[in-house]
Amino acid sequence: MNVMTPLGRNKATARRGAAVLALALLLLGGAPFPASAQQGQIQSFPEQNLEEAKQYAACMVLTKDHPQDAYDSAGAWLAKNGGPPAQHCQAVALVGLGRYTEAAQMLQTVAGELAKTDSSRTLAAQLYDQAGQVWLLEGDAAQAVAASNAALGIAPNDVEMVIDRAVALGAAERWWDALDDLNHANELAPKRADILVLRASAYRYVNSTELALADVNQALTLDPKNAEGYLERGILKDAAGDKNGARTDWVQAAQLAPNTPTAEAAQGRIEKLDLKTE
């Protein structure tokens, strides 16, 4: 798949609605991770004037549909001392070009420089977090965890970053560590359905099915339209032998989130179920 999903942190709800829903599927064992992730626009960089802010915004717009043009534009800007904004735009363009290792390394380099200044440390944490997501695109869970560790070393109670590390830990099959992070996330932001669905997935992987079912049921009580919750509950029901219940939940997941990785994963499981019952 070649799905453009936001890495940015300026709208947490949008982020949860796109990037992390795809990330959740990695834990859920559903669809593959999206092949690129973009639009990670930072609201402001240190000492950035209005003209530079406009140039950065224009460069980031290019990354969406014309990553090569964005990469070239950012390179020219870097040659004129464009600094961290130009480097960040170039890194996001590299994601769009599928050059994930280079992108992640560039993000970490910029983050490392920003982390040296107290006023830029929060921004550095955001870039480390983005680097972690890009390492997941590359399929390198260990590097993703390392980048997330750096982010949380700066902002240990940022719930979005805690969730992102939990996903990276899940990708590394470190389920108990992922559960620790998801428990922390749940303490920081109680009654968030997305956190509960992720934790249900992690519980399933450590064979704590009762806890998994309790979490996913609570998630669906909080958010009856949570497609990922129905996908996860269907998996749990299928494992328990409730094929009809599993089918019902997967149909619901596909209907709630048409034309998404969630729907694709649900439909795939329905098809496998049908093959088993024929």
Task: Name the residue type at position 80.
Answer: K
| pLDDT tens, per residue, the chain with 278 residues | 222 232 333 333 333 333 344 444 444 444 333 333 445 667 668 777 888 889 999 999 999 899 999 999 999 999 999 999 999 999 999 999 999 999 999 999 999 999 999 999 999 999 999 999 999 999 999 999 999 999 999 999 999 999 999 999 999 999 999 999 999 999 999 999 999 999 999 999 999 999 999 999 999 999 999 999 999 999 999 999 999 999 999 999 999 999 999 999 999 999 999 887 76
Task: Name the residue type at position 209.
Answer: T
Q: Considering only CA atoms, which of 259, 258, 260, 203 is closest in space to residue 232?
A: 203
Rounded Cα distance, 274 and 145, in Å: 38
Non-local (6+) Cβ contacts of 119 within 8 A are 46
Q: Is residue 10 part of a domain?
A: no
Rounded Cα distance, 230 and 193, in Å: 12
Q: Is residue 210 part of a domain?
A: yes
pLDDT of residue 40: 65
Q: Is residue 231 part of a domain?
A: yes
Q: Is residue 208 part of a domain?
A: yes
pLDDT of residue 49: 84
Q: Is residue 218 part of a domain?
A: yes
The secondary structure of 34-92, three-state, reads: CCCCECCCCCCCCCCCHHHHHHHHHHHHHHHHCHHHHHHHHHHHHHCCCHHHHHHHHHH
Q: Is residue 237 part of a domain?
A: yes
Our count of domains for the chain comes to 1
Rounded Cα distance, 145 and 232, in Å: 24
Q: Is residue 238 part of a domain?
A: yes
Structure tokens at 85: 């904004």
Q: Is residue 89 part of a domain?
A: no
What is the residue range of 267's domain?
191-277
User: How far, CA to CA in Å, does 185 sit from each of 164, 171, 196, 248, 249?
Assistant: 10, 18, 9, 30, 26
CATH number for position 203: 1.25.40.10
